[in-house]
Structure 1
């Protein structure tokens, strides 16, 4: 049954036509990801489907009584209302506190945020979480989300994907987060040149289908096809595609990549990087660092020793506020450690893209500001002009002669990134470089970085981009250390889930091994043998909890993958409830043993 129908819909924004003669529908339970260039009409399409805008021509119809939940990009919150009023409305405390679903939603999105804080006091990320919680706390037939992952960290994005996959509502989502698209969508709509092209499956299936269509049509744009083949090679060789089986044949698409090399020639790039940088890039020696300066703010690094070498491509992961940007500023020499030292290689030419947009002369033109830095640059084996690179990152034709004062935030970010690359650095520190970039521009940026020889340290909540352009992941887990993650983002989420589960149940209990080291005195009235037995039991229970937490994380991931298989979802949900019951029982045992020991 169709919940919403669009019949021959056309709409323009001023003189620019965005949609022309579009006919489509949203079925009950359908999960649709919407992609396309910035400014191409995605948000307009969402507003028309939701009924917030009227088409210039054509008709939009809703089924009677349709309940639509629409999250726009603006987070339109009453500044005088509290988080409690915005999210919980008139619900009595006993009503929402007794609802496990509401408690989980508040814990995952609101977290430690003060429920009595006013909207006017919230940061951008806190406003986004509040708006999401306000929407998701209610039941809807159709949920529509416009860039829901903005300001969310990797952990919150993973939770949101699993939550949406477990709901029965239909879903239409606009996002540039390609991992999220694969996790939640079973169909993809591409808004392009006033049309809406439809594909089966999530982002991975969309890329394959688009390549198949291009092959059949014998597209003449050779560079765009090369880009597409490289993207497919990554998808097929990278993490498993989280998508349902597409209905089109993929043999032809697979033939495109049969002889396609990996996206990056890693050995060659490391060789080039070593020639440019030597052996030393950054050596951290016994470094202690606080986020707010010496002794001020959260502890980020505690007597940490670490080495960043030539050609390293590292993704730095952590929750918001864990200190990722502080580590980049430490490497960029804009903040100093509390103690220890940072050794920088003598040949390091560093470029740092921070989250703050540096000032550019608003009267200058785009091309002029790039050519001021350099007119040509060598990337890999190819030389590019400033104009060619601008075109690759979305400044085509007359856009290169726009005045900087007329650029959007996303365009300014692209411009600043390009200025950094044109300065020919051999070390790149990138803090959220994907903000405000559409998928096509992200593909171009990834391809550009594939041929860039140097050391790259990246902070990004865009999981797809992070896994695509880096080779290793390192996490800040709140323990003052940099932790290598051989399993990448999946391992990070599992470790976070395991830690959060134990912390949530037993508060700030100190691990048994540390208690034994710091307080060796045995509890009164207990023999040394009895204490040893209890310590062994405590360790056994903690190992069981770790294993169950790993299983819980895998179950959540499986539920996200089985988004459209309701029978499978029901089975997984029953399995999850059984697992949580086991955890409750074991945690009760843990508390009893810890209490006996006086821990």
Structure 2
């Protein structure tokens, strides 16, 4: 059953048609991935469905009282709102009740507050919330904030763009819409948050239309792929992998049709050019047919071009790129990197994996010499020529034109020994001459990324540092960038939450495992996931096995004149043996408390207990991290 239908939609900017007589329907329970080149009009279609912009022609019909929630690429919020208030914005009259209740429950832990007055206020708010089914929504907001790691009491205006995107996503989910419109929802989310969103979308009955270039995400959640190409929508059932198979078949058929068409076109051109003979035996119908063939051929040539990347590897670097020995680094009392040792050699392609704020960019700056470690040593190789792709776009001057950003006052650029005019070079990155004269501030996110890559590739480099290069890039560009990096002979450092991109590019990963601990793994993201799963499965069996090996080796050690002492003291061995039971007990307690908190009645009947349970769940989370870290530390020393 269609919740939203789009009928004969037309939308154009200038002479460029984004939507050309488009029809589309979104059914209940569908998760539709909308894909296409940057600038094809995907965001415009989403805005039109959300009611943000109007079509030039055509209709958009929404069934009955269907609720629609829209998350744009650049969300906006009311000034002065906390994260909790912003997330509750979409709940209408319930927003103020939930905001007041949230504030009142926090006041219970304030010793200076009038506890009796607070309890009276809570009681009144409880009755109002119960009458409007507010408990379920309060629990939903709390769960969503927790999974997206959002601080409820922080002002939204104090957050970075990436965190604001998380708040906008939480706001849309809390509204419990019938239709969810998401524009690049995975941008700025770390892998854990992306996987949580995948689980949520797979388990929902909400109809979802989303724009994303995250292929793994599309594979995991999409039930249909819709491609927008030159104003036309084409629908493909299934996930992204199914789309790729169908698309490859279509392209093969199209290539054969074009071959036959081009042969026929050549024959007709020969006929019309026979001059006097053609005019003497003139066939008006045949001439009109040739004119139509020429128009069709011109239309084929007007397709969006294929972006062209070319990397100049420059002078070969020394075999050693960087060597870190017992390096530690932290800020404001928080350790990001603790006692890390590694050697990076020429040709390594290293992916950095970890949650936002874990220290990935800090590690890159240590390797590149932009900052120094708090302790340990960093030795850097010789003849290093570094090109740095900055995730925050700080290298771009907003007022400069696109062409000036690349040319730096020159008319030509030289790439791998070949001289090229600046306009021709920008066309390789899909910037038309008119667009090349536009200021940087007018560019979309995808265009900014392309511009940064274009500038990056104008300089020779044997070390390439890519900090979140995949945000906003379309799938064709991503796949070409993968091929270029795979063939690049230099060293690559890649920070990305795009799991497919990591798997297709890197030869090893450095993973931030928490508490400043870094571990190295061979191959890509999926190999890291599988390696961690194997390690987790082996851990419960390791202690008994090691104890048996220790018993067998004991007589041999006793015969030696200088017995070898255990790396762990007696008390540390006892601590290690007790840790699994302690961790299991904490996890069981946490599960019990979470089950209680899912019951809306607890907030009404026992608000103090509910508040205490919430605090205890947070304490357990901290304790679990500490005990797991201690367990790994002791195991490593055995």
TM-score by length of 2: 0.65
**Residue equivalent to 2:253:** 216
Deviation at 1:518, TM superposition (A): 8.8
Contact 1:392 1:441 in 2 (8 A): no
Q: Distance in 2 between matches of 1:543 and 1:387?
A: 63
Matched with 1:345 is: 381
Partner of 2:291: none
Q: How far did residue 59 of structure 1 move?
A: 1.7
Matches within 5 A, 1:97-176: 102-111=141-150, 113=151, 115-176=152-213
Aligned residues: 473
CA displacement at 1:221 relative to structure 2: 9.7
The question of whether the paired residues in 2 share the 8 Å contact of 1:31 and 1:171 is answered with: yes
CA deviations 1:88-114 (Å, max 9, x no partner) are 423345764897655432210144x1x
> What residue is the counterpart of 1:377 in the other structure?
415
Cα deviation 1:502-538 (Å, max 9, x = unaligned): xxxxxxxxxxxxxx9899669xxxxxxxx95x96464
The two structures, once aligned, show a CA RMSD in angstroms of 4.0
Aligned to 1:23: 23
Deviation of 1:166 (Å) = 0.8
For residue 397 of structure 1, report the CA deviation from its aligned partner.
5.4
**CA 1:117–1:100 in structure 2 vs 1: closer, same or farther (change >3 Å)?**
closer
1:154–1:319 contact (8 Å) kept in structure 2: yes
Q: Is the 8 A contact 1:393 1:445 kept in 2?
A: no
In structure 1, C-alpha distance between the alignment counterparts of 2:55 and 2:476, rounded to whole Å = 27
Match of 1:42?
42
Deviation readout 1:11-47 (Å, 9 max, x if unpaired): 2235432111111211111110001122221112112
State TM-score, norm by structure 1. Answer: 0.69
Residue 173 of structure 1 and its aligned partner are, at CA, apart by 0.3
Question: Does 128-137 or 49-58 show the bigger shift?
Answer: 49-58
1:368–1:2: structure 2 CA closer, same or farther, 3 Å change rule? closer
Q: Give the Cα separation in 1 of the matches to 2:6 and 2:514.
A: 49
Residue 322 of structure 2 is aligned to residue 282 of structure 1: yes
Q: Which residue of 1 aligns with 2:549?
A: none
Q: As a proportion of its length, which structure holds more helix?
A: 2
For the residues of structure 2 that align with 1:517 and 1:360, how far apart are their CA atoms? 56
Alignment gaps of 5+ in structure 1: 223-268, 501-515, 523-530, 550-583, 595-599
d(CA) in 2 for partners of 1:196, 1:106? 35
Residue aligning to 1:423: 459
| Cα distance in structure 1, aligned partners of 2:529 and 2:227 | 30
- 1:523-565 Cα deviation digits (max 9, x unpaired): xxxxxxxx95x9646436758999xx9xxxxxxxxxxxxxxxx
Could you tell me which residue of structure 1 aligns to residue 365 of structure 2? 329
In structure 2, the CA distance between the partners of 1:303 and 1:116, relative to structure 1 (3 Å rule), is closer
Deviation at 1:472, TM superposition (A): 1.8
Structure 1 Cα separation of the partners of residues 407 and 494 of structure 2: 23
Task: Tell me by how many angstroms 1:421 deviates.
Answer: 2.3
The structural deviation recorded for 1:458 is 0.5
Structure 2, unmatched stretches of 5+, are 89-94, 103-125, 127-133, 260-310, 537-565, 591-616, 628-638
Q: Which residue of 1 aligns with 2:580?
A: 539
C-alpha separation between the residues in 2 aligned to 1:199 and 1:130? Answer: 32
8 Å Cα contact 2:502/2:524 also seen in 1: no
Q: Secondary structure at the match of 2:376?
A: strand
SS in 2 for 1:157: helix
**DSSP 3-state at the match of 1:276:** coil
Q: Could you tell me which residue of structure 2 aligns to residue 252 of structure 1?
A: none
Cα distance in 1, alignment partners of residues 414 and 143 from structure 2: 53
Structure 1 residues 538 and 122: CA distance shift in structure 2, 3 A? closer
Structure-2 residue corresponding to 1:68: 68
Q: CA deviation at 1:369?
A: 2.5
Residue pair 1:394, 1:441 contacting (<8 A) in 2 also: no
**What is the rounded CA distance, in whole Å, between the counterparts of 1:517 and 1:100 in structure 2?**
47
Which secondary structure does the structure 2 equivalent of 1:366 belong to? helix
Larger Rg: 2
Name the counterpart of 2:122: none
The Cα shift of 1:162 comes to 1.0
Structure 1 distance, partners of 2:423, 2:324, is: 39
Q: Does 1:433 align with 2:446?
A: no
SS in structure 2 at match of 1:375 = strand
Partner in structure 2 of residue 57 of structure 1 = 57
Deviates more, 1:31-40 or 1:445-454: 445-454
| Preserved CA contact (<8 Å) 1:313 1:469 | yes
Structure 1 distance, partners of 2:578, 2:402, is: 69
Matches within 5 A, 1:483-562: 483-486=519-522, 488-490=524-526, 536=577, 538-539=579-580
Which deviates the most, 42-51 or 489-498?
Answer: 489-498
Distance in 2 (CA, whole Å) between partners of 1:123 and 1:362 is: 22
> How far apart, CA to CA, are the structure 2 residues paired with 1:84 and 1:497?
35
Retained in 2: the 8 A contact 1:353–1:417?
Answer: yes
- 1:512 is matched with which residue? none
Q: What secondary structure sits across from 2:251 in the alignment?
A: helix
Name the stretch that deviates more: 443-452 or 428-437. 443-452
Matched residue, 1:465: 501
Residue equivalent to 1:257: none
Alignment CA distance shift 1:18-1:273 (3 Å): closer
Give the distance between the partners of 1:386 and 1:204, measured in 2 at CA: 37
Displacement after TM superposition at 1:400 (Å) = 4.5
SS at match of 2:384: coil
Measure the CA separation in 1 of the matches of 2:148 and 2:141.
11
Aligned-partner SS, 1:355: coil
Cα distance in 1 between the residues matched to 2:442 and 2:53: 26
- The answer to whether the 8 Å contact 2:38/2:446 transfers is no
- For 1:221 and 1:365, locate their aligned partners in 2 and report how far apart those are by CA, in whole Å: 35
Q: 1:312 aligns with which of 326, 331, 348?
A: 348
8 Å Cα contact 1:34/1:172 also seen in 2: yes
Relative to structure 1, is the Cα distance of residues 441 and 341 closer, same or farther in structure 2, using a 3 angstrom cutoff? same
- The 8 Å contact of residues 509 and 520 in structure 2, kept in 1 or not, is answered as yes
Contact preservation (8 Å) 2:314, 2:385? no
Distance 1:72 1:370 in 2: 33
For residues 203 and 220 of structure 1, the distance between their equivalents in structure 2, rounded to whole angstroms, comes to 25
Give yes or no for contact 2:411–2:421 (8 Å, CA) kept in 1: no
Q: Distance in 1 between matches of 2:70 and 2:500?
A: 25
Q: Which moved more, 1:96-105 or 1:348-357?
A: 96-105
